[in-house]
Amino acid sequence: MTQMPLIDCLQYANWSEKIFREMRAGGVTAVHVTIAYHENFRETVLNFEQWNRWFEQFPDQIFQGRTGDDVRRAETDRRTAIFFGFQNPSPIEDDIRLVEICHTLGARFMQLSYNNQSLLATGCYEAEDPGITRMGRQVIGEMNRVGLVIDMSHSAERSTLEAIEISDRPIAITHANPAFWHPALRNKSDDVLRALGQSGGVLGFSAYPHHLKDKSDCTLENFCEMIARTADLMGPDHIGIGTDLCQDQPDSVVEWMRVGRWSKDIDYGEGSRDNPGFPPFPSWFRGNRDFGNIAAGLRATGMDDGEVAGIMGGNWLRFFDASFGPAK
Amino acid sequence: MTQMPLIDCLQYANWSEKIFREMRAGGVTAVHVTIAYHENFRETVLNFEQWNRWFEQFPDQIFQGRTGDDVRRAETDRRTAIFFGFQNPSPIEDDIRLVEICHTLGARFMQLSYNNQSLLATGCYEAEDPGITRMGRQVIGEMNRVGLVIDMSHSAERSTLEAIEISDRPIAITHANPAFWHPALRNKSDDVLRALGQSGGVLGFSAYPHHLKDKSDCTLENFCEMIARTADLMGPDHIGIGTDLCQDQPDSVVEWMRVGRWSKDIDYGEGSRDNPGFPPFPSWFRGNRDFGNIAAGLRATGMDDGEVAGIMGGNWLRFFDASFGPAK
């Protein structure tokens, strides 16, 4: 098999030295980590600070990634490059100029909405989706200018299609699966997936149980067969991994992710009253040491080494190279 | 005369296209501009944003400087590199981790105090100077680590001597003059100047009238003779220019600089009830097109071209090269 970077384009773990060492043990080259769900700008700065603390404490395991070349540096150094992203535009508040400030601080992905309506776009749990807002159009232009990637993982159908259309640069859906395989509000229609692939964007496949057929019992074979079918739909160069791994998180965190400060009532999101917490990940993907299972599962579907290498990281690296700098 | 960069290591103008064009007309290669007097972190971010707006609007005149090499790029491009600084540690509030955040956003100088006592050090208008505080020692170490230069222009004597001693890297006094020439709370003792020079630091000479002998009537000859005498005291490699040019500012701004939000009473600082506003600059230095007068005045004192080139920018450039990156 050819040498390849291993890139997971979405994790939100309860970070610790243990997990950073597992990343190294698993040969993970780069991870896109969420550093804001509902935080405003000032709160997000505290999250940048917390990562600076970890970079100082664990320089042999991790460093801050800013460019595609940092993925190559991580491979050479045998460390993991950490790329920052927001799952909501809350860090830019109502100020388009915060897009550049956040990019300077290292943000590389920003979702235009997280389940709910935002100032920019509609989330996948809203009953109505009026599409990209006036401010959303302006912010898409600014994100294109500075090199902050539009991520529509938690957005609704029309908003997503419009974002693909309006953006001058390819966008990402960092962590979701096709609805044809498992219908869920968070999974994506064939129309969205086709438009994403045709525009040069990339989809990251999620291993979060609520996005999987049979949830925690989903088999590796079924998961990899789904990837192979999506490769047929989108092309093998437009897909990658975005596990949505939420390792070692207490259930209080999933409540923050779902409810933030927007409701006084509990909202169970993809869970339910009987199943309110983080669901257990499937047995073949419990953490950063298990990516080899996915690669093996992909080869078992009949994919060649080049296709598998692309899905496991090469496709994201090409996307990083093209996306994180100023517009040409 | 040898080719040289022209660096002014302190200005706080009412920025406009007119001034940016005057910088180009005057051949100014780099300017350290103040972007915070009393602003907290969140307010300082708005000032970074305002500069990003100007960088977008006037790319043919100015760009953001981050390293010594950006001064060389400015010479090649015939543009002016703008370096950011704070005249007070208010932007880091009570949070040492904001030092790195501000450095990432481009801050390259930070005064440990501005006239008053701060969380870090004492200002030159306080009656007592207990020296560098507990937090001050920690922040000096952090500034050393990331490459944010300690500037003691508005600090008191003991705090300044202690900062020079505690800091592992040379510090700056970006805008002040020697007290032997014009005794003023803002001007510096021989002890401070000697310690600054011996530690590898740099003093920038101010043309702000309150720092000048005979104030607005100070002659160019007198000013340049003072520089020559300071070169004898500190060595010709440890001095540069820091005009403190406050061009086109309304008098309301000097009130903000002096009083911020720390007093409900008016404090006239270096001015007086009869003379509360910005004083007029001397006839030989009215703005960015007048640096040639200073260079000519220095040559008239008998300095050679190399010494003049060092004072007009070469010494600051060497300091920038050594100071703005992480500690080795």
Residue A1 pLDDT greater than 50, yes or no: no
Whether B328 is in a domain gets the answer no
Residue B2 pLDDT greater than 60, yes or no: no
Enclosing H/E stretch for B229: helix B220-234
Contacts of B252 (CB under 8 A, 6+ apart): none
pLDDT of B297: 98
Whether B130 is in a domain gets the answer yes
The residues of B whose Cβ lies within 8 A of any Cβ of A are: 41-42, 45, 48-49, 52-53, 95, 97-98, 100-101, 104-106
Quick check: A49 and B105 CB within 8 A?
no
The answer to whether the beta carbons of residues A19 and A247 sit under 8 Å apart is yes
In single-letter form, the type of residue at position A278 comes to F
- Closest among A98, A100, A58 to A82, alpha carbons compared: A58
Whether A1 is in a domain gets the answer no
**pTM, to two decimals:** 0.94
Secondary-structure percent of chain A, ordered helix, strand, coil, rounded to 5: 40, 15, 45
Whether B2 is in a domain gets the answer no
In the structure encoding, which two tokens stand for residue B260, read together? 């911020």
More confident residue, A186 or A270: A186
Q: Can you tell me which residue has the tokens 């002998």? A: B213
CATH number at residue A166: 3.20.20.140
Output Rg (C-alpha) for chain A, integer angstroms: 18
Distance of alpha carbon A52 from alpha carbon B225, whole angstroms: 48
Of A52, A101, A106, the CB nearest to B97: A52
pLDDT of A3: 60
Over residues A251-264, the pLDDT tens digits come to 889 889 999 999 98
Residue A276 pLDDT greater than 90, yes or no: no
- Closest among A190, A179, A178 to A227, alpha carbons compared: A178
Average pLDDT over residues B219-226: 98
**Residue B40 CB burial class (10 angstroms; 0-12, 13-18, ≥19):** middle
The answer to whether the beta carbons of residues B125 and B185 sit under 8 Å apart is yes
Residue B262 pLDDT greater than 90, yes or no: yes
Whether B1 is in a domain gets the answer no
pLDDT of A328: 87
Whether A219 is in a domain gets the answer yes
Whether B168 is in a domain gets the answer yes
pLDDT of B238: 98
The three-state secondary structure class of A12 is coil
Residue A182 pLDDT greater than 50, yes or no: yes
If you measure CA to CA, which chain A residue comes closest to B104? A105
Residue B34 pLDDT greater than 80, yes or no: yes
Count of structural domains within chain A: 1
**Domain of A179?**
7-323
Residue A2 pLDDT greater than 70, yes or no: no
Average pLDDT over residues B214-235: 97
Residue B311 pLDDT greater than 80, yes or no: yes
Neighbours of B7 (CB within 10 A): 30
* pLDDT band per the 50, 70, 90 thresholds, residue B277: confident
Query: What is the bridge-based pairing of β-strands A239-241 and B7-11?
Result: unpaired
> Mean pLDDT, chain B, as a whole number?
96
Over residues B74-122, the pLDDT tens digits come to 999 999 999 999 999 999 999 999 999 999 999 999 999 999 999 999 9
Residue B165 pLDDT greater than 70, yes or no: yes
Question: With contacts defined as CB-CB under 8 Å, which chain A residues touch B95?
Answer: 49
Average pLDDT over residues A285-293: 97
Whether B184 is in a domain gets the answer yes
The answer to whether the beta carbons of residues A124 and A189 sit under 8 Å apart is no
Question: With contacts defined as CB-CB under 8 Å, which chain A residues touch B98?
Answer: 45, 49
The C-alpha of A252 sits at a distance from chain B's nearest C-alpha, in angstroms, of 26
Contacts of A131 (CB under 8 A, 6+ apart): A121, A122, A158, A159, A162
pLDDT of B76: 97
Over residues A80-139, the pLDDT tens digits come to 999 999 999 999 999 999 999 999 999 999 999 999 999 999 999 999 999 999 999 999
Supply φ then ψ for residue A272, to 5 degrees.
-155, 170
